[in-house]
Amino acid sequence: MESNELIPIHIFHLHYHVEEAFITSLYDLQLVEITTIDDVRYVAVNHLPQVEKLIRLHSDFNLNADALAVAAHLLEKVDNLQSELLTLRSRLRIYED
């Protein structure tokens, strides 16, 4: 991965006002992926939307990392159910039309 596709974790503190420990706790719960190069820990740019979402939920609702893990799991389930719903709707249309 190119270095310009990685964001050092310590920068998160400056931009999002969250402690590095918070990002580490997200990593411990497998909610974000962290890449370590020369002892510097990074988050890939393509994972940024997911990290930003977790930071928003953390700051907006005062959710800790465990609660975020539950929310992320449920949101993933909703996402899967929505995909399934779309497939079933298109299948149903065959018989309705």
Rounded to an integer, what distance in angstroms lies between the CA atom of residue 40 and that of residue 3?
12
Pick the piece of the chain touching another protein (CB under 8 A) from 2-10, 21-29, 35-43, 55-63: 55-63
Strand partners, 8: 42
Residue 4 found at the interface with another protein (CB under 8 A):
no
51 and 14 Cβ atoms separated by less than 8 Å: no
Please pick, from the candidates 2, 4, 17, 38, the single residue that binds another protein as defined by CB under 8 A. Answer: 17
35 and 5 Cβ atoms separated by less than 8 Å: no
Residue 2 found at the interface with another protein (CB under 8 A):
no
In the bound state with another protein, the residue whose beta carbon lies nearer, of 36 and 90, is 90
29 and 69 Cβ atoms separated by less than 8 Å: yes
Residue 81 found at the interface with another protein (CB under 8 A):
no
CB-side neighbour CA atoms (13 Å) of 82: 6
Residue 79 found at the interface with another protein (CB under 8 A):
yes
Give the binding site for another protein (CB under 8 A).
Answer: 15-17, 49, 52-53, 56-57, 59-61, 71, 75, 79, 82, 86-87, 89-91, 93-94, 97
